[in-house]
Structure 1
Amino acid sequence: MRNPLTAVAAAIVAGGLVLQLLFVPLLLLVRGAWWGLVLVPVAATTMPLWSLVHEAIHGTLSADRRWNDRCGRALAVGYGAPFVLLKGGHLLHHRYSRTRKERTEVFDPTRTTRTRAAPLYYVRLLGGLYLSEAASVLLAVLPRRAWYRLAARWDSPDTVTRELLERVAARQLRRGCAGTNCGPRSTPTATGSISAGSRRWRGSSAGRSRRPIRRSVRLTGERHAFCARGHLRRRRAVQNRPRRRSPTIGAPP
């Protein structure tokens, strides 16, 4: 942990998670239902728990990216929502902050009425947002096509729901897929192929020795094809660049 206060909060949250997930259901509730009141003070750790999840979302919980994501997923279990959806939704919140897609607290009388806007706002404010995040765990059993159908159905210029579902479906479902409806196989290009997974290769299809392109960012899903197109454009630009000829001795200026 980079901050001592973060380490203290992590210890408190870890103790609360062990208490509510192990001790209370397995040891205390079997002795009496009144032991469930122990969870009342545990509810006070909800805000520190979300603070740690927030640090993991922005990659500042740990200097190691892998451990950062692993800790974020473990904390999201106690929070009750998938880490990938929490991360994607929160980053989209920062991306579209103060825009039309992320202004749930703004009331526009030219588009709606106070009678229609107030109930939805207070439902979202008093737990509706969290309940929707917790219920999103049910989407894990759906195939990718169902994700895209839900994204199209929930499309609205006032929310980021469609972009969030499409982003998760493209990057997290069927890892290593280089197209929309393909499996984990390589995608041929004009100068070589991009293999499935996190390793990408370049080389000619005539059989030259291929060497991996090392990158720190793991590209998954449809971003493979996007990376291939960008790599081809850069390579063609370098090949078509005019070369300067060195001046020969005795040549006229």
Structure 2
Amino acid sequence: MSTSHETAPPPAPTRCWSSEPYADALRAGRGPLYLRRTDGWLLHLDVERWCGGPDEADRSVLTRCEGSVLDVGCGPGRLVAALCAGGRDALGIDISTAAIAHTTSLGGRALRRSVFEPLPEEGRWRTALVVDGNIGIGGDPGALLTRLTRVLAPGGLLIAETAPVDVDERADVRLVRDPDARGGSVFPWARLGTPALLRHSRPDWLAVAQWSVGGRCFVALRNRSSSAKPETAKSTAVMSSQRWAKPLPDSPVAPS
């Protein structure tokens, strides 16, 4: 009889961006799609823009990328595909199978993985992208920023998109295509404006640029870490909404 006190974690339900409303919207290439807060407040998600080519605001991000690029929550992959088409070393990660399929169909490299799970080349990426609201992943921006200090190389660049208003919000939300829908799994999310992101980034990050294009706002932060420290055993940074019930592939998916 084993004397170990360790037990396997319970399987987590498929939640968050891997849910059917999101997958259906990506397959169709259009909305409507909303994040619905438990009090009924709605945030419209711009699926058509995500599924299109890079716009002027996206290009302002792409031109600032340095070295190898990791796109966190790459969605349908327009940024990864653009980087790969330009010969850049780029990888998208997302927990949605539909997002990975869309990314690879565009010629991008992508891996079905949460940012809080072990990643290829961890501690050696030169740039991380967190755009399209993905600073809200897991509902704890501080935990995400801490995780990214370990994903990036020392001195690496984080380019994050922020809300165009001064907000620092955490909420339980669900993904819906119908504004009146009540069903679907609830998961934690966050929204940050630029002032809030700068507060959360201290002292591990140095702000190096802020800009706005077409009503979208961005911040570039430099990783102050002097060494890429390995994660301690599954700390609180591993959000329940980002865990997986099944093993994940070890290699990125590339177009055949």
TM-score, with structure 2 as normaliser? 0.23
Considering only CA atoms, is the larger Rg found in Structure 1 or Structure 2? Answer: 1
Task: Compare the two structures and name the one with the higher strand fraction.
Answer: 2
TM-score, with structure 1 as normaliser? 0.23
Q: Which has the higher contact order (CA 8 A, sep 6+)?
A: 2
